[in-house]
Structure 1
Amino acid sequence: MDTNFSILTKIPLAIAILDQENIFIECSDQWTEQFNKKRSDLIGYNFLQVFSWGSSELATILNAKLKREALISGSEQIIKNKKKLWFDWKVQSLIHNKVKYKYLTLKDVTRAKKLDDLIDKTGKVARIGYWEIELESKTLIWSDITKEIHETTKDYKPTLEEGINFYKEGEHRDHISKLVNSAITTGEPWDTELIIVTVNGKEIWVRAKGEVERIDGEPVRIFGTFQDINEKKRAELKFNETSERLALATKEAKIGIWQYNVAENQLIWDDNMFTLYGIKREDFLGAVDAWEKSIHPDDKERGKKELEMAISGEQEFDTTFRIIKPNGNIIHIKALATVKRDNEGNPLTMLGTNWDVTDLKTTQLQLQRSEESFVGAFENSSIGMALVGLDGRWMQVNTSLCESLGYSKEELLKLSFKEITHTEDLEKGMDEMYDLVKGKKESFQLNKRYIHKKGHAIHAFLTVTRVGNIDGKTSHFIAQVADLTQMVINKEKLRDVLKLTREQNQSLLNFAHIVAHNLRSHSGNITMLSDFLRKEKASKEIVELTTMLKSASEGLAETISHLNDVVQVRTTTEEKMTPTGLEKCILGTIRNIEAQINELNPLLKINVKKEHLVNVVPAYLDSIFLNLFTNALKYCSNKRRLEIEVTSKIINNEIVVKFKDNGLGLDLGRYGNRVFGMFKTFHNHKDAKGIGLFITKNQIEAMRGKIEIESVVDVGTLFTMRFEKA
């Protein structure tokens, strides 16, 4: 042994000195430990024979003549004891005392290699790739899986701008840009879920994580992972959507869901059940006894028996019963349930639903009374009435008709209406009858003559109404036959009834439009604020959002109060008109839609004097400005910042209000006559209903005011409104 190399034995690396024939001259203790060899098994022996690496790249290098001071490195995989091992090696030519040696180091990287392979395989299975950005050179590097997710080729080299542009244009691209900039500035890492658009145009959800590497406080590199979560995310969104729909459906339909664990006698209610029964959750004991206490005494025994029969399997649980709420109100409950059993048929749980059918029961009772009233009215009517079949024969007649025509009921039921119709009037109303049969119209009226049993003509005013069956097809007709002497009186009564009906229907329609239009805006604003509040973490922003939500809620309450005033209007609008401040109304409207305004950040110019009072229905004025503001926000231009200007001035006994925006505008040459029409829309906006301007015009005119419009496409719109000065 050349003692000049003995110092190598203590070096904490696997190092060996070989001569030109690859004979061990010396090696470190780390070498013997790593390969589990004694020094006597190595020194003086050929390396390639000891380790059987004869066919490896390292063997080729060792067998070749190395240039002076040459350094060669590489990696090698070998099989040892049926196990794969990986080594990194380095060979360097060394001259000592004019003798050439080979300096060899071996590093066992098996564990690291296996870990890398595991990470690689895991990444492929989980579809997780990595990326990094060298900030100085702005070089973006993607792993193969990242490229695969983007559906690019493996030799694709993205630029930083291209990497950002893969994110879906709009909120997704804006969000990732904001996160990257924030990370560079503050060092805050990110973990978010966004949509990218692949090279092939496919939209997929990804999870992007990133963080910044800093040197001396300066960002030098951004790196992170990129995971394909498209299937999972879309399944999650679909599940959430279905869950939300189910929750909304049960809430809107007031359907309660309950579960009864039979063995434990435990009854579980959802929130709708507590609302339905009027019971507080903390007062509910969670047993069947708690349910039975709410049942009406007259229905209690039957309810218990039906529950027991359902558990025993004698019958399905499908019943209706009454409950008494804590406030004393009695309501009718419809209950359905299914029983889940074990393999031996023993009952485990019952899952059921409850819903309030009080209105249905009331309707059924009213229908029954209506039928009884119809029969009574039919028999006792002073006007001749009859049920007529499709073949023209009388199915049922009342006493008045028999008296008018001079026949008994038995005689008349044996005839058809054609047999007692004046020959000159036989063709009268035949086309109308055909339309009734086909369902093209519901009724018709005409003057017609019948022949009395004694042979003289009876002049009558005939009304025929179609009656449909459950399929909507015509089953028979209701005929009303009135003598001409009674026609004028009956016609006047009918006109009054129709007038009152139209007024009530119009009032109801107007109110329904106000509710649908105004409350949708308020609810949309509250929903948006609630969503922001749910996502926000900063206390300052939470306080601000809470204040905005409170303001929006107060606005909603005020709107509901005004709508209640609208409902109570039974005569004329003028009776409900009251002096109202323009500025207060406009500022209130802005507060109510503050979330929508903050989202678009328009420039608002409100030049309305506090002392300008108008004589209006407050609910109508709220509705008018809410519609104008939301329309301006909805139909703003994406080419410029939205500007809204509202001014007012007094001209004679009127207050003229001008509402101007720089939005999309309208082609009045094309739509001028239809701008204020019902259900008329002029832009392909998903929320366009064609109701707002129709309601606005009718409300203003109902308050003795006027509205005019000036508009230019892609320039903006100006509304000029004239209100009565208070």
Structure 2
Amino acid sequence: MILNGTKTIQNNPLVKQLPTATVFTNKKFEVIYASDKFMSDFSFEAKNTFGKPINELFTTLSDNWEKKLYNYLTDESHDANLNYTLKSAAGSKWYKWACTAWQNDTGETIGLIIHFEDITEKKLKNEEGDRLQSLLDAMCEISQIGVWDYDILNDKLVCCDVIRKIYDVDQDYEFTFDAAISSYKDGYSRNTVSMLVHETMSKGTKWNEKLQFRTSKGKEIWVQIAGMPTYLDGKIVGVKGTLQNIEKEVQSETKTKENELLLRTLIDNLPLNVFIKDTESRKILVNKSECDYMGVDNADKLLGKSDFELFNEDVASLSRAEDLQVMETLIPILSRETINETKDGRIATFLTSKIPLLGNNGKAQGLVGISMDISDIKQKEQELRDLINVTSQQNRKLVNFAHIVSHNLRSHTANFSMLLDFLTNEKNEEEKTHIVKMLTHASDNLLETLENLNEVVAINTNINLERKPIRLNQRIVSVKRNLKEFLVNNNAKIINAISEHTAIKVIPSYIDSILMNFITNAVKYKHPDRPPLITLSAISENGFIVLSIEDNGLGIDLKKYGDKLFGMYKTFHDHSDSRGIGLYITKNQIEAMNGKVTVASEVGVGTTFKIYFNEQN
């Protein structure tokens, strides 16, 4: 149909499936295509939507909407900031539009692509956030407890006015995370706050501690600092907490005793491996988790020992280099992934942090180490990567199969159409009879194609077929018996070098088909100057039983045909009975059993196929 000079078709199926509310318009802003989500979000009906200008669908647009949309037509880099309010019985809803130019194959702008985002919840949250922020500011001022928020992803630290008073800085002072950590007194306080923040980032724990703090004017005070994690989509993205000046409350406390007790209590109850090393990288303190990992029941078995006495030399050398870097630069290493292997061969992956332990002279007297065992997480990551790889391969196979189906059915359709057209216009009865015979032949070819395609689909979709252990030689004998007349007629000889005890785990019907295809191909494509000779052998290799099928036939030019060898309807020799489907189906059967197939060939010499049968899964 025609919409104001623009030819349109039925709604594009790809656009319909878009996960966002999206429309395509022409230059008159009339809707050409629309996603199903757009139709459902705004409760539109197709008959009242397609061909209608945007302003007729959304009647509460701002006055300058048309001017903005014309701008997007001329500048494809525009991102819209056009808001739309929808009134309903349940209240108002807010939408944000994002526009970009819609171009054809020649780069000419033919309309707009508009995405709609529901920002109602965000807008309401912003309004609620403003109200809560005002309330929070008042509470902070009354209680004199400051609030801070650290954004890990953007490395941004935000603090309220009460904290500015504690820091003794001006209103325009910009806080940074590193500077905030450095504001705590060298030694215990700075190390403790560093460990607490690390624990929150890695484990998601909450904490509340009394620490010594130095203001911008150099005055030392005691503060009460608390922290907890901030989550987004289940992941820790920040740390937030409170800060209070408690100098008057702790003036009479014994600082050294409190520091010792707090540190000891903290590390003994952390579900992490914690240790302290001296300047020679000897452990002078370890917690229970560290003892458990090292396989000892008493910390005395670790104290005073270096990594060279506990780990192999490569791991120990790397750890010592990290220790020296931290103690010389006074810059902590946070959340570094390391692999530790003890001398008894136990291997684990850790997320490790090392923080310099400063003395009163400002120099490092050792370091504090924190490690979290993430071996299980790494294993899950590998399993996920393997799953993604399998899914990607399956998707590529599906797309390739779809192209094959489309191509072959289109070819048959074109052939039928042409023959029917000839039949309709042909006057000669004898010629009509000939055309009918051609149609019958074309019908047989179509039926054969459909049967081939159906077999491929069955292989790739039937996940319930059970693999069973079988004796490989038994199947080879059965196939030879079925092919006896064929082998005799072609003077073909099979040499079977496979042990009687060789067993493979396969789908029985598949292995018969696989053997039949490879053996008949070896005979079918024999060399004209010699009788066909087929050699079968098998070995065990890296969890696979590898079956080799070697022939002395024509061979294949792998440089020319290697990437097409296992394609559907691909043939490489001028044989009248070649269909190009056998190797394609065989490869699908092998892969359906978690196996693989490789080929080596030399033109005029012969070909060797190696079939890998998975012994494990």
TM-score range, shorter chain: 0.3 to 0.5
Task: Give the TM-score, by structure 1 length.
Answer: 0.28
User: Bigger radius of gyration, 1 or 2?
Assistant: 1
Higher relative contact order (CA 8 A, sep 6+): 2
Task: Give the TM-score, by structure 2 length.
Answer: 0.32
